Chain A
Amino acid sequence: MSTRELVTDLTYLLASALFILGLRSLTRPQTARRGMQLAALGMLSAICGTLLHHEIVSYGLVFVGLGIGTVIGWPLGTRVAMTAMPQRIAISHMFGALAATLVGFAEYHSHRLEGRPLDRGTMGALGFEVLFGSLTVSGSFMAFGKLQELLPGRPITFRGQNALNLALFSAALGLFGLLVLDPTLALAFYLLVALAFVIGVSMVLPIGGADMPVVVSLLNSYAGLAASATGFAIDNNVLIICGALDGASGFLLSIQMSRAMNRSFRNVLFGAFGAAPSPSAATLEAKEMKSITAEDAAATLAFARRVVVVPGYGLAVAQAQQLAREMADQIERRGGDVKYAIHPVAGRMPGHMNVLLAEANVQYEKMVEMEEINEQFSSVDVAVVIGANDVVNPAAKRDPNSPIFGMPILDVDQAQRVFVLKRGKGTGFAGIDNALFFDERTSLIFGDAKSSLQKLVSEMKAL
């Protein structure tokens, strides 16, 4: 091993260690920032180490690529709004997987051109790389399109969809097996790439906007696996390590998300979470929802001791996080205590709501996870539900016929009083009635979350 190679390898070792420490720093918000900055240094050292690599003979184009990437990556880091994080993450999965796929493709092509046959192990790794890489590219692009609303967000389903997906996947596996048996079958390789692209599209088509947290996490995991496979194909350990970390992370997050959405583990593994729940027969007979004026609600809130704000995706859509915090400020100014109850799928990706609240200057100690806050609801004076519906629907606990039965929810119905800020009298995403809205302790404030909060805040200021 030459000195050069040794230096390169040492930078990789340093990078791997710093990446692991960086991820570990994310277990506590106090240490997170410094840890990730160190991880970025690790990345820089790995890049410099690679530029010493003996196989790199021409640097011009390499720097062109680095330059283009920086010019595009910079605004994607500095400009993108926090509300757009889910689509931002989806598109970056696409870029990551595209890099892996292109490297795999180039590797195969070069071997073929140079007449050096690939051994079976390397072929297996390459096949895995382009299979997971391409399906992540097209799948992430579809997810991006849905989240960015370039494509219709509702699930697109048709008869025989699952059978078609199964057939596509079996065909891809067949081609993969064929390639491992005979790596010289170039046509099979190109077909595998094309087929994987189609699988990515057909996998994400039947998935609706509210299911995106699972999909985005799953694609995260696939992108990691593709990177790991690249590492196996070109014998690069740092790639294997990072891919494994990424794969494990995405996998765990998708399991947690699917649990929070009441979907089975098997559903996640096979990505077959398309079927929309059939709306159950409305069991709530002509009960009336009770509405309350902003003035009365403000008076109650102003003198409440313990208030819990329950933000849902509707809050983010209305861009009203800042106003929710102003309302909390008003309560706290009078000596009340305000906490925020965060359901795992309150946003469009894992932890999204926390980021949105942090952006609105809410301190992180006040954001409480579901299990913890559920123990406290019975001693809460007022719970303010803003733009959330299914995650506070008691039917998930009480009604075995409900499509969301079994889904973990925030026990808002335990609070002394409940205010619900709601756009109209319609049902939530799952299309089911919510008994909470008809409860005698519940009062509704109808209207756009932003203007309702605005009214509440100004009424409270006037008190």
Chain B
Amino acid sequence: MSHTTVAEIYIFILAAFVGYQIITRVPALLHTPLMSATNAISGISLVGSLVVAGSDRNTLATSLGVIAVACATINVVGGFIITDRMLKMFRPSAGSDQKGTP
């Protein structure tokens, strides 16, 4: 097993641990935004797709890469927008609210 792979396994385990610690503290109230947020974040596979689409290795790889770029972009763009749309709706009660609009 190469040195890189070992380092990558470290990173994976540490990230999973951090994720576990944070996500157990997310209240049920925000579970749907959490899901759409992780979805948007996992659109990061875009960075892999970009390289495949742009590196001009062969026709099939390029075509698949372009489709992958489109798919991942859908998640990035749509995911962050809809997460923001949802979080915007969660408002506190009158005290900190500026004139609660009924």
Contact = CB atoms under 8 A, between A and B. Distances in A.
Given A32-B33, A33-B87, A232 B5 contact: yes
Interface of B: 1-2, 4-5, 8, 11-13, 15-16, 18-20, 22-58, 60-62, 64-94, 97, 100-102
A388 interface: no
Contact of A46 (B25, B47, B86): B47
B28 A73 contact: no
Interface in A111-150: 113-114, 121
Contacts of B67: 65, 98, 102
A58 to B, nearest CB: 5
A217 B49 CA distance: 24
Given A234-B51, A236-B48, A249 B64 contact: no
Contacts of B66: 61-62, 64-65
A95 B72 contact: yes
Given A32-B90, A55-B54, A242 B42 contact: yes
A70 interface: yes
Contact of A355 (B81, B86, B100): B86
B70 A65 contact: yes
13 contacts: A72-B70, A73-B74, A73-B78, A77-B85, A88-B36, A92-B36, A92-B75, A109-B60, A239-B44, A244-B19, A252-B20, A354-B28, A355-B32
A77 B66 CA distance: 21
A14 interface: no
B56 A26 contact: no
Q: Chain B contact residues: over half helix, strand or loop, or mixed?
A: helix
A240 interface: yes
Contacts of B92: 29-30, 363-365
Contacts of B75: 73, 92, 95-96, 99
Interface stretch (A163-171, A200-208, A344-352): A344-352
Interface string A47-65: 1011101011111011011
Contacts of A30: 92
Contacts of A235: 4, 8
A270 interface: no
Contacts of B79: 73, 77, 92
A232 B48 CA distance: 11
A197 interface: no
A29 B86 CA distance: 11
A240 B23 contact: no
Given A106-B61, A245-B38, A354-B32, A57 B55 contact: yes
Nearest to B43: A96
A39 B44 CA distance: 11
B53 A65 contact: yes
Nearest to B31: A351
B76 A364 contact: no
Interface string A207-237: 0000000001100100110011011101111
B68 A55 contact: no
A58 B56 contact: yes
Interface in A353-409: 354-355, 358-359, 361, 363-367, 369
